[in-house]
Amino acid sequence: MKKHILKLAALSMSLMLFSSPLIACGKKEQETVSYETWWTSSDTESSAEESTQPTSAPSTAASSETSETTPENIAINPFTGLYEMDKANVGKRGIGITINNCKVANPQRGTTEASVIFEYETEGGQTRLLCMYPDISKVPLVGAVRSGRVGASDMCAGTGAIFVCWGADYTAVPAHVKNNKIDWMDLNDYIYDSLRGHDADEVPEGRFCWRDREWMNQPGHRTGVEHCGVTRGDFILKATEKFKIDTNGTMPTMFNFVETGTAKMTDPVDCTEINVYFSGTNDDGLFVYNAAEGVYYKSQYNGEPQMDCNVDKQISFTNVFVLFVPINARPNDSSSERHKDIHFEEGGSGYYVSNGKLENITWTKPTPNDQIKCFDSNGKEIEVNAGKSYICVVDTDYAKKTTYK
């Protein structure tokens, strides 16, 4: 019990520090909060038979010992399976934000605090990120926010979260989200075109995002106004009121989570490094395993660490997924760089990488609103280590170009 009390005190202090002040890149923010699962073997065994719903929190949440081993004000984050979310957020929907990932848009902001990141190909072979946050009120300063695509709306919809972007592929996205009843917010008409956009006091009422031109104009940094758009949780909450989007709702658990480090794999092979080939433009999404920390660190663009300049830290993840899926340029798109359609409904193969090991998987997502489900070679849903996940959505045509060792 004394051990648990000490853990509770440490976590309480961490949560008091969990804020997101507006800062320019290069000025270091507080360290990113690190959480524990708070699980015990007795918790897992006593509740394994009690939990039968695939969308519920991990079975340990129902354990008779939960009140003694977890803080009363902390709940399980459905995106990670960890006890790290404010209990007041239970019954609230999370959010997915489109982030620019072309070379000149790096480093990014707010990526270390994303619970899940999807990376996917867009036109011209560039990739973008969809950063997932379970609690809108806790979303840090995020950027560079970019325009939405149909595939990203489907990734978001499968988690029950609200889709946020800044502009969109207007030839397809509005009709698609309407037909599939996907809640989204396009912030394009609500920009504050600021000269000193890092100062939130300048942002007028009715504007929910802004261009941080000071960020854009830092020496050796990004060029072009499309690479400096930012927003933050409190502004997004105001936007949900403007768009009349209900933030209440059930958030399904992202995967079949088990205690960190205990996921059982079928026919695993060693994997301390995996290099994901997204396209000829972005051919080195590199994840390198740090055994001491139990996470994979992400690099890209000739081995440059992928950084979050809010905190001056390289992003890292407990889990890496590579999902091979047919991605095709839209045939009736007359633009010079045709938009890409991601055919999740076809399902496919892929990899699950965690704890220094790799497992071959298959996966399904029959409709835009369905979750991604991953299965082992026996057709059984895989176990996933509780923790943050990076999900690489890769064209099936490039499957053989992803390598690991």
Among the residue ranges 43-47, 144-148, 250-254, 302-306, the one predicted with the least confidence is 43-47
Per-residue model confidence (pLDDT) at position 4? 42
Q: Do the domain assignments include residue 146?
A: no
CATH code, domain carrying 288: 3.50.90.10
In this predicted structure, the answer to whether residue 199 has a pLDDT above a threshold of 70 is no
Backbone angles phi, psi at 299, to 5 degrees: -130, 165
Per-residue model confidence (pLDDT) at position 334? 65
Span 46-64, average pLDDT:
35
In this predicted structure, the answer to whether residue 123 has a pLDDT above a threshold of 70 is yes
Q: Do the domain assignments include residue 143?
A: no
SS3 content of the chain, % helix, strand, coil (to 5): 20, 30, 50
Q: Which residue shows structure tokens 């999807």?
A: 118
| Dihedral over alpha carbons 234, 235, 240, 241 (to 10 degrees) | 90
Q: Do the domain assignments include residue 52?
A: no
pLDDT per position as a tens digit, 144-157: 999 999 999 999 99
Considering its fold, how many domains does the chain have in total? Answer: 1
Query: 263: domain range?
Result: 257-404
| Whether 131 contacts 111, CB under 8 Å | yes
Strand ranges in 249-294 using DSSP code E only, listed in sequence order = 257-258, 269-270, 273-276, 285-290
Q: Do the domain assignments include residue 382?
A: yes
Query: What is the average pLDDT score of the chain?
Result: 84
Q: Do the domain assignments include residue 100?
A: no
- Closest residue by Cα to residue 138 from 183, 204, 184, 75: 75
pLDDT per position as a tens digit, 242-293: 999 999 998 999 999 999 999 999 999 999 999 999 999 999 999 999 999 9
Backbone angles phi, psi at 16, to 5 degrees: -65, -25
Band of residue 41 on the pLDDT scale cut at 50, 70, 90 = very low
Per-residue model confidence (pLDDT) at position 227? 86
**Top-ranked range on mean pLDDT: pick from 21-30, 51-60, 206-215, 366-375:** 366-375
Residue 382 φ/ψ region, left for φ over 0, alpha for ψ in the -120 to 50 degree band, beta for the rest? beta
- Looking at this protein, which amino acid is placed at residue 355? N
Q: What is the pTM of this model?
A: 0.85
Q: Do the domain assignments include residue 175?
A: no
Q: Which residue shows structure tokens 């009363």?
A: 72
In this predicted structure, the answer to whether residue 56 has a pLDDT above a threshold of 70 is no
pLDDT over 90 percentage in the chain: 70
Q: Do the domain assignments include residue 219?
A: no
Per-residue model confidence (pLDDT) at position 225? 78
Q: Do the domain assignments include residue 381?
A: yes
